[in-house]
Chains A and B, each alone.
Chain A
């Protein structure tokens, strides 16, 4: 961890001092334990604020579109780099304006799981080898990092950046086998059970749209949910409005989602969002052999077709 922090700072200082880039997007220590916050660094003297920790959970590709007129360097995990590839493919970014500082990722720690595993308020948390040490007023607990990962991280099969200008560490070994095991389990349930689960999840939605704001691929200037003519989806927190939003949001990311889980982490109601996008990702992978953000220029599956492919809808 410490070596990576040092490597990021060193690279950031070099880039800023040489004038190669105008701004670095990275992480800094959050104001609470178990948190890291995105940080934009513009001056070389500020690079000491950059860190790398097991809590760097945001997808930093989210900020790139807002800095289009700048030369930007971005600290990118596997998922961040895939989002960047997808955004370049969709002509939202220019490759030569972005300097990608690749960081192989070991999966990020879910602060909500940690908080449930300890008896009181967490006052400090840091990594020690393969364990996370969590300290409070009268406890100090060691948790295995693999047990407290975000779900999207626990099932991640692309922890290493796929596109980078510099890679700050050796690539890590992939730990997950089946990224869609959870979706498969859900598919086996009866339609009634699936409907009940979806309704109970959607029912908690407060329509804050934090999921949309955290998502690097949700960049529409005007979201379908904000349209008034036509009003596609009911705007209130009614059952139909909540369900419509959840279905519309997830489906709009078909073949564009990189499974980073940023939406779910941003959700204040802890709604299971990864299970929705996971299904669509699984479908495009199984039907069209497509995984988002692996190759620059590879068109998303809904922009393509094969004349002789299934399913056969002719009667």
Chain B
């Protein structure tokens, strides 16, 4: 049987750490991690995070801009409330708290993203595949249309 490999999704704000536009491309993404760029953390539908988990992601990391530095002024603040409640709720229904993370990175945090991704991957490796919640049976095609 094929050995299980962790899958994590990073929902990354397109403006976060983006003044150096090549940054995400130069960063060698570890195996099992995928980056999905979003316009703003305030715009992330919680259902997107649910979809990631239900389509088989074992962990999700959401990265936005630090307080006071949102490109749209207040998206990260709204995102913070959204993720505080969503994370707490997912833990309540039994998802391990280490599987869903939220980070607000600022100018001085350049270079920290690989560490965050590695930390989540490491935890997910120890935790194993998500067994708390069921995964979807269908092929994820409709989600990209």
Give the residue name and chain of the A residue nearest to B94 (CB): A195
Interface residues of A in 138-181 (CB under 8 A from B): none
In the assembled complex, the Cα of A9 lies from the Cα of B104 at a distance in Å of 58
Rounded to whole Å, the gap between the CB of A125 and the closest CB of chain B is 36
Digit string of B90-121 for contact with A (CB within 8 Å is 1, else 0)? 11111111000011111001001000100000
Residue total for A at the interface (Cβ-Cβ under 8 A): 52
| B47 at interface, CB cutoff 8 A | yes
In the assembled complex, the Cα of A234 lies from the Cα of B92 at a distance in Å of 22
| A244 pairs with B89, CB closer than 8 A | no
| B36 at interface, CB cutoff 8 A | no
| A243 at interface, CB cutoff 8 A | yes
Which of A240, A250, A311: most chain B CB closer than 10 A? A240
| A191 pairs with B103, CB closer than 8 A | no
Residues from chain B with a CB closer than 8 A to the CB of A224 are: 47
| B37 at interface, CB cutoff 8 A | no
In the assembled complex, the Cα of A276 lies from the Cα of B85 at a distance in Å of 12
Known: A191-B91, A194-B92, A234-B137. A287 touches B85 (CB 8 A): yes
In the assembled complex, the Cα of A250 lies from the Cα of B133 at a distance in Å of 16
Which of B46, B80, B85, B97: most chain A CB closer than 10 A? B85
| B103 pairs with A283, CB closer than 8 A | no
In the assembled complex, the Cα of A310 lies from the Cα of B88 at a distance in Å of 13
Question: Chain A binding site: helix, strand, loop or mixed by DSSP?
Answer: helix
Known: A191-B91, A194-B94, A230-B143. A254 touches B85 (CB 8 A): yes
| A230 pairs with B51, CB closer than 8 A | yes
| A229 pairs with B142, CB closer than 8 A | yes
Rounded to whole Å, the gap between the CB of A231 and the closest CB of chain B is 4
- The 21 sampled A-B contact pairs (Cβ below 8 Å) are A187-B92, A191-B97, A195-B94, A195-B132, A197-B94, A199-B94, A231-B138, A240-B136, A243-B54, A243-B133, A244-B54, A276-B89, A280-B85, A287-B84, A301-B81, A302-B81, A309-B80, A314-B67, A314-B103, A314-B109, A315-B104
Which residues of A approach B to under 8 Å, CB–CB?
186-187, 191-199, 224, 228-234, 238-241, 243-244, 247-248, 250-251, 254-255, 276, 279-280, 283-284, 287-288, 301-311, 313-315
Which residues of B approach A to under 8 Å, CB–CB?
46-47, 50-51, 54, 64, 66-68, 74, 77-78, 80-86, 88-97, 102-106, 109, 112, 116, 132-138, 142-145
